[in-house]
Amino acid sequence: MTDADDSGGLPSAGTGTTQQAADQAEKISSELYDLIGLKGTATEPGPGVSECSGKDPEKYFTVFHAWTFTPASPDQLGGVMERLKTEMPKHGWKIVGYGPDTSKNQNLTLTADNDAKKYSVKIAHFAKDAKPNLNLFLTSGCYQVPEGGKVERF
């Protein structure tokens, strides 16, 4: 993400409560789920809240949402990463990394930023797992709570 301030390179995501930011993370995760375009299941853990490096932890926070998509049929994931690489830019995402990771399995990964939404996502395709899946890790820029508010941790 661009527009980085001095909080460890994270851009400002604006002002909002932790609940508003978590709702936004869930909405963006849902949009990503739709872009995957396959029938399957997603894990249910909700978003979490973390500190913005170098900022007052009572006033500034970032939201993350990690989840896994498992297709109805393992062979359905073939070509999904290439499709996401093509489709995501049409929805405001800029692909900033694409290729195998450094693991023994060399899992294909895609990293993308959405500057308008102030979110970044890393998607890893675990093709060689017993149940092939996609792992997604969505993270926001640095939010500031509204005047008089405080960061809620969940």
Average pLDDT, the chain: 91
- pLDDT (tens digit per residue) in 54-76: 999 999 999 999 999 999 988 88
Q: Whole-angstrom Cα distance, residue 14 to residue 151?
A: 14
87-127 pLDDT, tens digit per residue, is: 999 999 999 999 999 999 999 999 999 999 999 999 999 99
Give me the pLDDT at residue 154, please.
Answer: 77
- Confirm if 117 and 28 have CB atoms less than 8 A apart: yes
The tokens 């005047």 sit on which residue?
147
- The tokens describing 96, both together, are 């900033």
- Six token digits for residue 85: 């690489």
Residue % of the chain over a pLDDT of 70 = 94
What pLDDT is attached to residue 8?
A: 52
| CA-based nearest residue to 99, from 125, 67, 135 | 125
- Average pLDDT on 17-43 reads 94
